Amino acid sequence: MKSFQYATAASPVSARELRGENGRYLAGGIDLLGEMKEYIAEPNILVNIKSLPGLNKIERGAQSWSIGTNVTIAELENHAELKSIFPGLQQAAAEVGSQQIRNVATVGGNLAQHSRCWYYRHRDIQCLKKGGDTCYARHGENKYHSLFTGNTCISPVVSNLSIILAALDATVTIQRGEKEVRLTIPELYAKAWDNPTSHHSLEPEDLVMKVEIPVQQRRSAYLQVSEKSAFDWALVSCAASAKADGGKLSQARVVLGAIANVPHQAQAANELLEGKVLDDSLANQVADVILAKAQPLSQNAYKIQIARTLIRRTLAQLKA
């Protein structure tokens, strides 16, 4: 790790000024410090944003819930009212790392974390995502990589929260220069679909301020399959939400994680669920639509069957 300066910001304006041209924001910091140890990231200053006022609050408004960027994953996991209203959010939070990690990891950090691809993380490999000309995973070790991608890079999105927040139609408020910009979850990751060097659509100077989840009478659920039962990344994850009235679903969303470089959903699958009573046949049809264009590689075709099973099981929780 190269030497760096450290400063604590008192406001978003001072955070941006302190960051300068080659600084990085630091809150939970686990992912960033890992990159620094591997010489992938070499900022000249870390700007501590943990003390920024108001960004560690969970608040309920008339139209939406507001979750500050510095709220920890453990706070999401243990918030009784959020668990009651958005059970899928609590389920996703509970799958993040270990309890020790959840105690310090933040909402903003989870959304903004970078690729876990071992080629990207290797200090001696200049892969496509680091500005090279080759995605080594395509013809190498790709067991954990994407089934869908819009560019040559096949590194999947790894944020648990992004998957459930996409299913809940959440928006993310970004401080971008002098302006506050609101992005949907698909917009927050859209750049990663087209640009192999991008992990998300955030610019280096962007500061995530909060996440807003609309107040709505939706049921939600999140499930993932990992190689280990705890403290492990998802092989495949699935989030779903829908209103259920008289057994019929409306405003349904089904989103898959760890299979694409963005939270993956198919609008046709959401529309297929509209006004329908959920049964096994319908759940299988939804899985067929979502996975129709999957392009498995030499070592990750197993993800297709896991995704099918998770889609069925996650949708089944909406009937409970």
DSSP type of residue 145: -
DSSP-based three-state secondary structure for 59 = strand
H or E segment at 244? strand 236-245
d(C-alpha 298, C-alpha 221), whole Å: 31
Three-state SS for 257?
A: strand
Residues 6+ apart with CB under 8 A from 98: 230, 231
Instruction: Supply the pLDDT for residue 320.
Output: 62
236 within 8 A of 157, measured Cβ to Cβ: no
Q: What type of residue sits at position 276? A: K
pLDDT for 152: 96
- Cβ 48 vs Cβ 26: under 8 Å: yes
**CATH code reported for the domain at 219-317:** 3.30.390.50
Kindly give the confidence (pLDDT) of every residue in the chain, 320 residues in length, as a single tens digit, with 9 standing for 90 and above: 899 999 999 999 999 999 998 999 999 887 899 999 999 999 999 999 999 999 999 999 999 999 999 999 999 999 999 999 999 999 999 999 999 999 999 999 999 999 999 999 999 999 999 999 999 999 999 999 999 999 999 999 999 999 999 999 999 999 999 999 999 999 999 999 999 999 999 999 999 999 999 998 899 999 999 999 888 999 999 999 999 988 899 999 999 999 999 999 999 999 999 999 999 999 999 999 999 999 999 999 999 999 999 999 999 999 86
Q: In the chain, which segments carry CATH 3.30.465.10?
A: 58-113+159-214
- At the top level of CATH, which class does the domain 58-113+159-214 belong to? alpha beta
- Give the Cα separation of 267 and 260 in Å (integer): 16
Cβ 91 vs Cβ 83: under 8 Å: no
Query: Where are the domain boundaries for CATH 3.30.43.10 in the chain?
Result: 1-52
Which residues in the chain are classed under CATH 3.30.390.50?
219-317
Domain 1-52 belongs in CATH node 3.40.50.11440? no
Helices (H) and strands (E) in the chain, counts: 13, 11
pTM of the model: 0.96
